Structure 1
């Protein structure tokens, strides 16, 4: 069982003054509209945690391990991983999960995105029973493998990777390599996404939503500026496209300090001048529970 902390709880845990300010600002007409959703999400998450804990305790034969600060790899010997939070919690947990299926519970549907979740806390009993009875529906989400200079740095990317300057406000310079095509580009960076990630940031930036079972990758250059060649500076030619599982797709950094942001801001991999980053689709899938199997007609 992996759970997140609410925004208010995180601020309290770090001693952030904003937590106290949020509590005191409820009656302030300026701050109340932005504080109310935080407090509502905190209350909803707290109630969801209590309900899920109660349901799990009712299954006395189950051995449950609770974790908040997840680190390391979750052994495949576990039968199920349950997350309480939203998509961010699932993304965080997914990097530690190999073959074990995952059941996502959205603890605050009114304020939390739950594309990967199977339901809310009130549905945990039905979802868990379906899994224990062998009647749960699942979906395989193919992941991405990322290598730097030939060495695997992450083989469990569920959503996307952002390649950019270590300071995202700075210009990013690199060589794009797609099979036999090469182009020197200057832009704000590049999104590389799986099918699961195609509904997230890359879609907001203008990308295409892909079938959820697809193994291919998709890339999209952020704010392309120019392409540098022996003909001078021209508009970038390859700014978006699909990458097949057998394609060679890579980026070679031509700046001293770049970053790969993997599935959000928390996993940042430093990239140096000359490093070649390759991206491969169709990596070992994450198995998501999506709900009980539909009833069989009589």
Structure 2
């Protein structure tokens, strides 16, 4: 049997400040500095541990910092991301439906720490919603994958077309369509269609933007904005108009809803400027007055090894 080929994708180490004069001047509370230093150390230790485990396995592997990823990921049997959901999301933008990905949460939130510092600062670490492993479980989870005892789940992604041209990046979590300035009103219209026929009236909106999520992204910003959690393997999309300005009563119910797997959402943009943010703020596409955007769940799926609780529940 040929040796497996793995790519280890790493969250950068320099995301937290180290102790020093600049850091000291920014933070008057020394416990914040200690907390940030610890986060950096925990993440560094997690990287070293995962690399040590891979050295013991009968696999060929290489590591790359996610900021240096610029080409499609090919010719590997598995991608292992070490960081949090953000690292897994970034990996997904360079992957098709042929390679599975395993997320390792390198710095999980510690609830006792959150409670301890709650009166001083937010000590929440990484959620790792889509990460199936931590340092404590990585070796066993990896062994189960290599031995064929675990299978990846197929997560739906969102395709984005602008003026009938398909963007190269698929959204695993969500997209936000909004004006570049958050204080400026976003003006757009949308309609949901099935087989080229409208399923609802045209909706004209003035708001702070439009968010559309996949099932995987429905528990992130969408849930915080008043949406609902969807079954993780659902192929439907969910949308919500953010802070609509005085919608007519007849269309109030259309400010939030779902887009079925056989439907599309067609959006027309009426501002001079606009942006489509894909899975956060790092990947975006510029919009101009009159641009048309089509969103659907027709993108290639992504194979993800999910945490155990997903496999024994409806979510």
Q: TM-score, normalised by structure 2?
A: 0.82
2:105 is aligned with 1:89:
no
Which of 242, 253, 258 is equivalent to 1:222? 242
Which of 273, 282, 287 is equivalent to 1:271? 287
2:103 is aligned with 1:104:
yes
Residue of structure 2 in register with 1:115 after alignment = 129
For residue 100 of structure 1, give the secondary structure of its aligned residue in structure 2.
Answer: coil
* Counterpart mapping for 1:231-270 below 5 A: 237=252, 238-270=254-286
- Tell me the distance in 1 between the aligned counterparts of 2:108 and 2:285: 32
Which of 108, 121, 138 is equivalent to 1:124? 138
- Stretch of structure 1 that moved more, 233-242 or 158-167: 233-242
Residue of structure 2 in register with 1:197 after alignment = 217
2:303 is aligned with 1:287:
yes
- Stretch of structure 1 that moved more, 252-261 or 133-142: 133-142
Deviation (angstroms), 1:51: 0.6
- Tell me the distance in 1 between the aligned counterparts of 2:283 and 2:307: 30
Deviation (angstroms), 1:11: 6.0
Deviation (angstroms), 1:140: 1.4
- Stretch of structure 1 that moved more, 217-226 or 276-285: 276-285
- Tell me the distance in 2 between the aligned counterparts of 1:256 and 1:108: 41
The answer on whether the counterparts of 1:127 and 1:291 sit within 8 Å (CA) in structure 2 is no
- Tell me the distance in 1 between the aligned counterparts of 2:21 and 2:285: 34
The answer on whether the counterparts of 2:80 and 2:103 sit within 8 Å (CA) in structure 1 is yes
Residue of structure 1 in register with 2:206 after alignment = 186
C-alpha root-mean-square deviation of aligned residues, in Å? Answer: 2.2
Considering fraction of residues, name the structure with more strand. Answer: 1
- Tell me the distance in 2 between the aligned counterparts of 1:134 and 1:243: 35
Which of 179, 183, 186 is equivalent to 1:172? 186
Residue of structure 2 in register with 1:5 after alignment = 12
- Tell me the distance in 1 between the aligned counterparts of 2:164 and 2:71: 23
- Tell me the distance in 1 between the aligned counterparts of 2:282 and 2:270: 24
Deviation (angstroms), 1:289: 1.3
For residue 214 of structure 1, give the secondary structure of its aligned residue in structure 2.
Answer: coil
Deviation (angstroms), 1:135: 0.7
For residue 64 of structure 1, give the secondary structure of its aligned residue in structure 2.
Answer: strand
Residue of structure 2 in register with 1:15 after alignment = none
* Counterpart mapping for 1:25-44 below 5 A: 30-44=28-42
* Alpha-carbon displacement from aligned partner over 1:112-131 (angstroms, at most 9, x marks no partner): 11001011112221111111
Residue of structure 1 in register with 2:114 after alignment = none
For residue 109 of structure 1, give the secondary structure of its aligned residue in structure 2.
Answer: coil
Distance 1:20 1:197, change over 3 A: same
Uncovered stretches (5+) of structure 1, i.e. residues with no partner: 13-17, 228-232
Distance 1:291 1:218, change over 3 A: closer
Deviation (angstroms), 1:159: 0.2
Distance 1:127 1:244, change over 3 A: same
* Alpha-carbon displacement from aligned partner over 1:189-217 (angstroms, at most 9, x marks no partner): 01100000000001000001111111010
Distance 1:240 1:21, change over 3 A: farther
Greater than 3 Å deviation, 4+ residue runs: 18-26, 233-236
- Tell me the distance in 1 between the aligned counterparts of 2:22 and 2:148: 45
